[in-house]
Amino acid sequence: MKFSAFLVLPVAAQAINIVISNDDGWAEINIRELYNCLTRAGFNGLISAPAENKSGTGSSDEEPEEVGEDGCEFASCPAGSPPYGKSESEPRFNYVNSYPVTSMRYGIQNLSTTFFQGPPDIAVAGFNVGTNLGIVTSISGTVGAAVEAVKEGVPAIAFSGSTGHQTAWNAPLQPYMTIYADLSANVTQTLTSSGKPYLPEDVFVNVNFPAVNDRCHSTSSFKFVFSRIYPAVPVFTPDDVETCGSKRLPVERSVVKNTAGCFASISVGNTDKVDVDAELQAAVLEKLKGILSCLPEDEKDARKMVL
């Protein structure tokens, strides 16, 4: 497949409604920059995310409570604030004092009614501080939020990046933030431009970005590779969708961590957070093929072996 340059363009016709959540917290800078980038691309969005950093909480779910004595993360709300709240300057930025799953569901079931007069067209989670690859997807709050959206009948994408650390919303922007936001918007726009249904039922897309460094230093440096979440088990795992001359997709961890290049992985999972079959892979591949590339020939053997 031929890689095409990244261009984040305004979405044609009526704006697409999108709920954005994460597990790093509503006041972490990544989610704010993703919102800004999607807005510039023409999406009509809102943020519904945890009041605190809830990384690694998977699909935990709990009724929101009053904010404790430490307030929200990065002093973004005072102690004793209500279970649900919003930014005084931007009412589309909302917190839920609970888990990513709870936050995503609140955004879909409640906030969407206010801002969209109905359910969203799509949901995204992230982009996460740190990757969510392989077995880590089972405990990732970012992935948990995306899966919750799918359970609510909303197609969803989970985004995660190798570079970065917990950073407040009002800190200076770093290059990796804008790069990951642009890449995330590109995937989102490519998927939504393909027309509805954006994804098959009960399916989410898991996207992981490699590190931003001296070699991978701009949005155009990166290429996307279609991958699988877990390594295939010889003999037992059925063939994947055929692409790049193979019926076995590379493992996402090998794409992001062990490939000599600026390759981001795109995998397709179900609500059990495991790989889907070749038929469902093919449906998503068809929608995203315009931005997909193949791994270099010398990586094809090593790519299958990394857990």
The pLDDT assigned to 299 comes to 54
Q: Span 17-208+268-292: which CATH code?
A: 3.40.1210.10
- pLDDT for residue 13: 44
Q: Give the pair of three-digit tokens for residue 124.
A: 């995204």
> Rounded to whole angstroms, how far apart are CA atoms 62 and 249?
37
Residues in contact with 175: Cβ distance below 8 Å, sequence separation at least 6, in sequence order: 212, 217
Tell me how far apart the terminal alpha carbons of the chain are, to the nearest angstrom.
Answer: 25
Q: Copy the structure tokens of residue 106.
A: 């609140």
| CB-side neighbour CA atoms (13 Å) of 73 | 24
Strand partners, 125: 21, 158
pLDDT tens track for 136-191: 999 999 999 999 999 999 999 999 999 999 999 999 999 999 999 999 999 999 99
- What amino acid is encoded at 266 in this protein? I
Give the span between the Cα atoms of 172 and 39, in whole angstroms. Answer: 19
Our measurement of the distance from residue 42's CA atom to the centroid of its chain's CA atoms, rounded to an integer in Å, reads 18
Nearest to 161 by CA among 118, 203, 208: 208
pTM over 0.85: yes
Report the alpha-carbon distance of residue 21 to residue 25 in Å, rounded: 8
Tokens for 138, please give them: 């089972």
**Mean pLDDT for back-to-back runs of 10 residues, the chain (307 residues):** 44 79 98 98 98 98 98 98 97 98 98 97 98 98 98 98 98 98 98 97 98 96 98 96 98 90 97 98 98 81 43
Q: Given this model, what pLDDT does residue 242 score?
A: 98
Domain ranges of the chain: 17-208+268-292
Q: What are phi and psi of 25, to 5 degrees?
A: 110, 150
pLDDT of amino acid 258 = 72
Q: Report residue 140 as tokens.
A: 């990732």
Give the integer Cα–Cα distance in Å for 294 and 51.
39
3-state secondary structure (DSSP) of residue 138: helix
Beta strands, E only, the chain: 17-21, 44-50, 84-86, 93-96, 122-129, 156-161, 203-209, 223-227, 263-270, 292-293
What are the phi and psi torsion angles at 60 (to 5°)?
A: -60, 150
